[in-house]
Chain A
C-alpha cells in the first residue's frame, strides 16, 4: 500500500515537472534565430492596409540584408486586446500601431522617445500633441482621418441645393427639408442613413460637440475629468433632425446597409462617415467617389461655424525595451516609411491614406474628400478627435447605449446628458 502511494506521488510530481519543461521550451524568443539579422515585428491594427504594409516591409527588408520586418495584423476592434496579449505573453512587437493617447499612456514605460526621428520634424504640429506623455513624444501619428456628413453631390444638384451656400445650421435644416420634399423625384428613400446600430458612429458623431468643450485640444480632452455637454443643445438639434429624416428603425441601420447599400446606390443623400469609406466605395463603384462624393462640415459649436473633425486616430510607437541596433533599425524603417519615395507612394496611393506630414501637394492626395480634409488640416480649421480621448470603454458602455435610448424615445435629452456625464466622471476616476 505504501509503495503504491509512493509511486503515485512520483508521477504526480512528474506532471508539474513536465509543465515547467514545456514552458521552458516555449519561452525562446524568435529573434535568436539567424545570426546578425535584426528581426522587427510590426503590429498593425488596420486590417485594410495589411497587404500594402507587408509589401512595404518586404521592399525594405530586401534593400537591407540585415533587417527582417514582419507584419502582424489584429484589427476590427480586437487590436487593443491583441496588443495587450502580445505584451503579457512576453513577446511584445518592436514597432506597434497604437490607438490614440490612452494606449500610448498605457505602454509609456516601454515606448521610445521619438522626437529625434527625422520624420518628426515633418509632422503637422497639432497631431503630435496626442502622443505627448509628460512632455515626451512617444509615438508618431500614422495618418490623418476626417469625418463629417458625406453627401451625394448628384442628389444635391438635382434637388437644386448648392452645398457651398449652406452657411448656417438653419441653411442645413432647410436643405434637408428640401431634399425630403423631393424624395420621390430624387429616387431616395430618406435623406439620412445614420447607422444607429454601430457604437463608433455615435462616438465619432459626438466629437463635433465635445471638441469645442475641450478647446479643440486632444490633450485637454484626454486630461478632462468631466464632460458637461456645453454644446449639447447643438448635438440634440442635429440628432432630432437626422432621426426625423433617417431610414427607420434607426437602431437597426448598420454600417454595411448604410454605406455599402443605401449611400452608394444613391438611395440616401447623406451618411455620417469619414474618408475611410473611400476605398470601400471605390471597390464597389469606381466612379462614385470621383463624381458624387462630397463632405459637409458640422455646426458643432454654434449655428455659424462648421468644421470637419480631423486628426490622427493611430500612432506608431517603437519599443524601448529592445537591443540598441534593433532600435536603430526600427527607427530607420519608420523614417523610411514616411520620407522615402517608395514609402510615400505606398502611403498615399496604395493605402489611400491622408499623410500626417506637411509639404504634400494637395493635388497628390487621391480623392477630393481627402484633399479637403488635408487642406482643412493645414489651415487648422478642424475640430479635434475628442472621441478618441474618452475614458476606456465609455463610448461602448455608456455613450452608445444612452445615444440609442434617446433616439428610440426611451429617455429624454436631460437624461442623456446626465447619465453620460456621470459615466464619464466615474470611468475617468478609475
Chain B
C-alpha cells in the first residue's frame, strides 16, 4: 500500500542529488569523453577520432608522469596505512585523557589544505633543512626540492604527514568496534599483545583496510595541490604527477582535447586499480555476526 507513496518521496528526495550528479559528473564526463576525440583548444574543436590516443603512447613525458605517480602511490599507500594504523593502535591504548589530545594533534595536518601544507613544507625543505645543513655541515639536508630523487621523497613525506591522521581516524573507529570479549578471551588463553594484534585485531580490521586503502589509493593518484605548491613538477618536470601533466596540457598548451584523452586514460587506470583493490580486500573481510 505504501509502496507508491514511498516511491514518490523516494524519488523526490533523490532528485536534488541526482540532478547534482548528472550535471556536475555525468554530463561533464560524457562531454569530456567526446572532447577527447577532438582537437579542442577550449575554443574551437574538430573531430579527429583516435588521434589523441595514438599520440598518447609516444608521449614520453606523460608516461614518465604515469610512472612517477604509480611509484608515488605505492609508497604513499603503504606508508599512510602503516603509520595510520600505528597511530590508531597507540591512541587506543587505555592510558587516560592524553589519547584525546594526541588524536587531535595527529589529525590536525589533515585540516590544513594541500596548498598551504605544500608551502609550509617548501619552507621546511628550503630553509629549515638548509639551516640544519649549514650548522651541522651535513650535505644530506641540502637542496631537497632541487634534486629529482629527494623531491620525490619530499612529496611522499608531506603526503604521509597530511593523510596519516585521517586514516588513523578510520582505524580508530574500527579498532574500538572490536568486542572486548574477544580480546579478553584471547588474553585468558594466554595470547601475548602481539598475538592478539595479529590474530584477533588484524582479521577484524579487514573492512577498515578496504576503506582506507581505497581512500589513500584514490587520493594518492589524484594529488595536484600538494604537487603544485611543493615542487610544481620541478626540478625539470621530474616530479610532475599525472594530474599536473593533464592540467598543464590543457591550460598551458591549450590542447584540451589531448588533455581529455589523457584524463580518460587516467580515469580508466584509477578505476581498474581501485576495483581490483576493493575486490581483493573484500575477500579478506570476516563477518562477526
Say whether B255 contacts A430, CB under 8 Å.
yes
How many Å lie between the Cα of A402 and that of B19 in the bound state? Answer: 47
Indicate if A405 sits at the interface (CB-CB under 8 A). yes
How many Å lie between the Cα of A257 and that of B61 in the bound state? Answer: 30
Residues of B within 8 A of A15 (CB): 15, 18-19, 22
Say whether B15 contacts A397, CB under 8 Å.
no
Residues of B within 8 A of A16 (CB): 22
Residues of B within 8 A of A430 (CB): 253, 255
Say whether A197 contacts B236, CB under 8 Å.
no
Q: How many of A's residues come within 8 Å of B, CB to CB?
A: 40
Say whether B15 contacts A84, CB under 8 Å.
no
Q: Which of A4-12, A60-68, A296-304, A333-341 contacts B (4 or more CB under 8 A)?
A: A4-12
Say whether B8 contacts A7, CB under 8 Å.
yes
Indicate if A251 sits at the interface (CB-CB under 8 A). yes
Say whether B7 contacts A4, CB under 8 Å.
yes
Indicate if B274 sits at the interface (CB-CB under 8 A). no
B56–chain A nearest beta-carbon distance, Å: 14
Residues of B within 8 A of A252 (CB): 126, 130, 143, 145-146
Indicate if A187 sits at the interface (CB-CB under 8 A). no
Q: How many of B's residues come within 8 Å of A, CB to CB?
A: 33
- With A11-B15, A15-B18, A252-B145 given, is the CB distance from A393 to B4 under 8 Å? no
Indicate if A401 sits at the interface (CB-CB under 8 A). yes
Indicate if B57 sits at the interface (CB-CB under 8 A). no
Say whether A249 contacts B251, CB under 8 Å.
no
Task: Tell me if B's interface is mostly helix, strand, loop or mixed.
Answer: helix
Say whether B253 contacts A393, CB under 8 Å.
yes
Residues facing B in A66-117 (CB within 8 A) are 80-81, 84, 87-88, 106
How many Å lie between the Cα of A397 and that of B12 in the bound state? Answer: 49
Q: Which of B7, B234, B236, B252 contacts A7 (CB 8 A)?
A: B7
Say whether A396 contacts B252, CB under 8 Å.
yes
Identify which of B4, B142, B143 gathers the most chain A CB atoms within 10 Å of its CB: B143
Binding site for A on B (CB under 8 A): 3-4, 7-8, 11-12, 15, 18-19, 22-23, 41-43, 61, 126, 130, 142-143, 145-147, 234-237, 248-249, 251-255
Binding site for B on A (CB under 8 A): 3-4, 7-8, 11-12, 14-16, 18-19, 22, 80-81, 84, 87-88, 106, 196-197, 248-252, 254, 257, 392-393, 396-397, 400-402, 404-405, 408, 410, 427, 430
Q: List the 7 closest pairs (A to B, CB-CB), nearest first.
A: A393-B253, A251-B146, A249-B143, A393-B252, A401-B236, A11-B11, A252-B146
